A = this chain, B = another copy of it.
Amino acid sequence: MEQRVTLITLRVADLDRSRTFYEGLGWTPAAMGAGEACFFQLGGLGLCLLGADAYQREMAGDAGKVAPGPTMLAHNVHNKHEVDTLFSFALTQGARLVRPAEEQFWGGYSGMFADPDGHYWEIAWNPHWPLAGDGTVTIA
């Protein structure tokens, strides 16, 4: 199995609400799928917002046995100021504050918010991980 991921899927309770939230952050959908899915192009991979019923069908009922919970994603930027700016902006768009932006034990600076379904997004500056102009990161 090659060391890569193609698509990240977030289970959402209300597709319109979630789409509006991500559009509010500045994102543009690439495609809509069958009325219950909204796809975004994220560099070389995709992110899908998927309605809860469709998610359940996708798992052939398995998701009923293990309740789907929040996913944690990170979005790194180039400096602390960008963390503060973006974090404050996200809160104005309906993001829920999980922990404020502050110095981290690993040497960086980050804050955490949650989207309408509780999916976590860390906005981070990490001095140890080179971040290219196109947003690709190198894990060091």
Contact = CB atoms under 8 A, between A and B. Distances in A.
Given A2-B75, A6-B74, A28-B3, A44 B139 contact: no
Interface string A69-86: 111111110000000001
Counting chain A residues whose Cβ lies within 8 A of the other chain, the interface size class is: 35 or more
Interface in A53-90: 55, 58-60, 62-63, 66-76, 86, 89-90
Contacts of A74: 5-9
| Chain copies in the assembled complex | 2
Interface in A109-140: 112, 114, 118, 120, 122, 124, 129, 131-132, 134-140
Contacts of A5: 8, 42, 45, 47, 73-75
Interface in A27-65: 27-28, 30-31, 33-34, 39-47, 50, 55, 58-60, 62-63
Nearest to A135: B4
Contacts of A19: none
B139 A40 contact: yes
A96 to B, nearest CB: 9
Interface of A: 1-9, 11, 25-28, 30-31, 33-34, 39-47, 50, 55, 58-60, 62-63, 66-76, 86, 89-90, 98-99, 106, 112, 114, 118, 120, 122, 124, 129, 131-132, 134-140
